[in-house]
Structure formats: C-alpha cells, structure tokens
Amino acid sequence: MGPEPTFPIFKEWLDKGYNAEMEFLKNYQDKRENPAGLMEGAKQALIFGLNYYQGDKLNAALQGSGRIAQYARLRDYHKSLKKRGDSIIQELQKLCPDLKARVMVDSAPLLERALANRTNRGFIGKNTLFIHPDKGSMFLLSEILLDHVVLEADTKIPVDGTKRTEAGGCGSCRRCQVFCPTGALDEAYTLDARKCLAYWTIEHRGVIPEKFWPWVRTYLFGCDLCQLACPYNRTHALSKEDVVLKAAEVDPFEIACMTQEYYVATFGGTPVTRAKRSGLRRNGLIALAVLEDPRLEEAIATVMPEDESVLHETILQIRARALSL
Ligand code: B12
Ligand code: SF4
Ligand code: SF4
C-alpha cells in the first residue's frame, strides 16, 4: 500500500474551494495522502461495496418531488458495512490467525474512491463516482486495512476513465454533465460541491441560496440524477438490503411540520438523519414554497420561536421571494 497518486487532485479541489463549507475534509491530510497511516503496519487494503439501487428511473426522478436519494432509504449503511467487514475479517483470520485489521466506511479520512480505483476493477467517471463496468455505480464503498498480505493483489489492467472501451470509461459521453441540473459537474471528473444538491440538502446547515430551490423541490434529501443518467447504471441490479423508507417520495408538508417523534419514527436509523431534523424541515418548507402548496402557511405556523435559526431565516427568504414574484 503506497501513497495515493491522485492526492494532488484532492489538494487542488480544496484550494479551489470546491469543498464548500465541508471543513472536515481538510483534516488529517497526511492520512488521505497515505492511507497506510490509518492503521499501524497496514500492508494491504480490501475494498467492498453495498448495492443500494432501489429501481429509480431518470424520467420519474426528473418529474418527481419530495424525493429521498436511494442510498438513504436503507438502514444506516455504516453499521451494515461494518458488520460485513467484521465477518470478512473473521474469515481471513482463519487463514492468518495473527491478522490485525480495521474496517472503514465513509467517515475515515480516506480518499475511498481513489483507493477503490486502485483495484482496477472500475474507473472514475465524469460524475466523479467510482463505476464498475458491469455493476454500475450505485453502491457504497467500504475498506478493510490488513497488516498482512493475505490476498493476491489485483492484476487487472487499469481502466482509462477518459476512453470508452470494453473495460469501461466515459469517452465522449457527457450525460451526467447534461442532466446535473445545477452545473456542479461542468468541469468533467470534478464536482463543485457549492453547486451540488447533495451538498445543499444534506451537509449544509444554513439557508439554501434561492437559485437551487427548484431542485430542492425535486430532491428533498441528496440527489441521484448524475447516476440515473449514466449508461453504466441502465441494467443495475436491485439492492437486497433492508429498506426502511419504501417510497421514493415523501410529502414535503409532513416533513416541514414534523415533530421530533415523527422524525425519529420515520428517519431514525437511516442516513437521512445526517441532515438533522432542522435541515429536513428547511428543505420541506422550500419545496412547499416552490410548489406553491396551499399548506405552506400552515407549515410555517409550526415553526416555533425556539426552533433553529435556519428555519426562521428560510421563512424570511420565502416571504421575500413571494414579494418579488
Ligand atoms: C464529501 C463527500 C461528498 C460531497 C462531495 C462529493 C465529491 N464528488 O467530492 C457531497 C456532499 C456533494 C457528496 C455527494 C454524494 N455522495 Co459522497 N462522499 C463524500 C466523501 C465523504 C468524501 C469525498 C471527497 O473526498 N471528495 C473530494 C474529491 C476531490 O475526491 P473524490 O471525488 O473521491 O476524487 C478522488 C479520486 O476519485 C481521484 N480522481 C478524481 N478525478 C479523477 C479522474 C481520473 C481520470 C482519475 C484516474 C482519478 C480521479 O482523485 C481524487 C483525489 O484522490 C466520500 C467518502 C470518502 N471518505 O471518500 C463520500 C462518497 C464519495 N459519496 C458517495 C455517495 C454515494 C454520494 C452521493 C451519490 C449521495 C447522494 N445520492 O446524494 C452523492 C454523489 C455526488 C457525486 N456526483 O459525487 C460514495 C460514492 C460511492 C461510489 N460508487 O463512488 C462515497 C465514496 C461514500 C461511500 N463510502 O460509499 N459526497
Ligand atoms: S448529485 Fe445531483 S446536483 Fe450533485 S452533481 Fe450529481 S446531478 Fe448534480
Ligand atoms: S454519464 Fe457518461 S460521462 Fe457521466 S459517468 Fe456515466 S459514462 Fe461517464
């Protein structure tokens, strides 16, 4: 396991401010540069994925409202992938009893896609996803660091993501760029989080700039458009995981008004909680405003003086927008 050759791409991405306000991405840069630093004596990494495809189609998504990104309709993947990783380690320990290992999912300071790309089992697409030529991209990644070399290293030939061959690659396709509604992928193979709906609806804690509102109506949490547009996902197998949210769409009114009890009962144990209750209510209010839903005032009335400032600021934005329309 050597240092990450694409680390300069990450540095440049941060320097350009493409991380928006995700300051946590600036931490532990030494580990992102050299993943071996994440575990003493790390010699090898094993990468595995969890398919989350729920059967969504591009046209339905484009015409929908109140949508929840597919990965977030499952039970929290951090736990299921960790459990799976631990059972893989147990199997490997049968071959190598001294083996020490560490499972990582999402939150470790690791460039997960770059590491996955080093397996040569797929490629990085213009939408920045790690894509398997046969299995598409709608899977979550997890890694196991091992302190012994227990597996034969992959000997596949690297896939050039810029060319279209049997082994994969984008070539002249630019469907993800065309269907990204906010221009976040205008620079191929690079995502500007300051323009990405997934950033605004999940990670951002403050108010959402009005120019993104029409698409917050469509996606209340996350966004799948640049993957649903990708030809490599046309024949994606359905996920076999435990689904918590059965419907692709939720009623923005219920979300804008939801109590803590409703929030826990509906979204508890799913990745949706990353946005927190206040972030989801903010997104619900925006969707109602854009839809010109007659229940908007009723929803606004449920925001109490003691509620988070982002909700009050969003209501001010809604009022100002209504005056300017
Ligand atoms: C921050 C983050 C976000 C941010 C920023 C996304 C981004 N593209 O950077 C936001 C909130 C927008 C986001 C959105 C989503 N995310 Co996210 N996110 C992350 C996180 C935590 C860090 C990513 C990061 O470091 N970005 C910085 C950029 C510069 O790094 P990078 O894109 O990984 O690029 C590196 C390599 O790919 C390589 N590289 C880049 N370009 C090229 C080009 C070529 C030709 C080559 C060879 C290499 C190469 O160099 C870069 C530096 O090493 C990772 C988990 C992790 N720890 O890695 C999950 C992760 C990337 N997210 C994931 C998912 C599922 C999503 C969403 C689909 C969720 C949703 N439905 O809303 C969207 C997809 C949006 C998209 N098109 O990427 C998955 C992706 C799985 C996959 N198959 O690729 C990850 C890996 C989480 C996981 N454990 O599975 N996410
Ligand atoms: S997740 Fe949505 S907004 Fe973000 S890059 Fe993909 S299509 Fe664009
Ligand atoms: S939609 Fe086309 S350009 Fe975008 S990642 Fe898929 S194959 Fe590449």
Strand-pairing partners, residue 144, are: 46, 103
pLDDT of residue 156: 82
Closest CA to 289 of 263, 256, 260, 266: 256
Provide the residue range defining the domain that includes 160: 7-249
Q: Give the three-class secondary structure for 249.
A: strand
Question: Phi, psi (5° rounding) for residue 32?
Answer: -65, -35
Give the other-Cβ count within 10 Å of 51's Cβ.
Answer: 18
Question: 261 falls in which pLDDT band (50, 70, 90)?
Answer: very high
Q: Residue 90 C-alpha to ligand 3 middle, in angstroms? A: 37
The position carrying tokens 């240092």 is 3
Residue 287 lies in a domain: no
CB of 191 closer than 6 A to ligand 2? Answer: yes
Residue 83 corresponds to which tokens in the numbers above?
A: 């459990």
Mean pLDDT of the chain: 96
- pLDDT tens sequence across 54-83: 999 999 999 999 999 999 999 989 989 999
Burial class (CB in 10 A: 0-12, 13-18, 19+), 320: exposed
Ligand nearest to the CA of 123: 1
Q: Is residue 318, in this structure, part of any structural domain at all?
A: no
What's the confidence (pLDDT) of residue 155? 79
Nearest CA to ligand 3 atom 8: 170
Examine residue 67 and state whether it is found in any structural domain, yes or no: yes
- Return the SS3 of 165: strand
CA 62 to ligand 3 center in whole angstroms: 17
Work out the average pLDDT over 288-312. Answer: 98
* Whole-prediction pTM: 0.97
- Is 269 a domain residue? no
- For ligand 3, whether the C-beta of 175 sits within 6 Å is yes
How confident is the model over 7-59, as pLDDT tens digits?
999 999 999 999 999 999 999 999 999 999 999 999 999 999 999 999 999 99
Distances (CA, A) of 2 to 25, 27, 39: 21, 20, 13
Domain count, the chain: 1
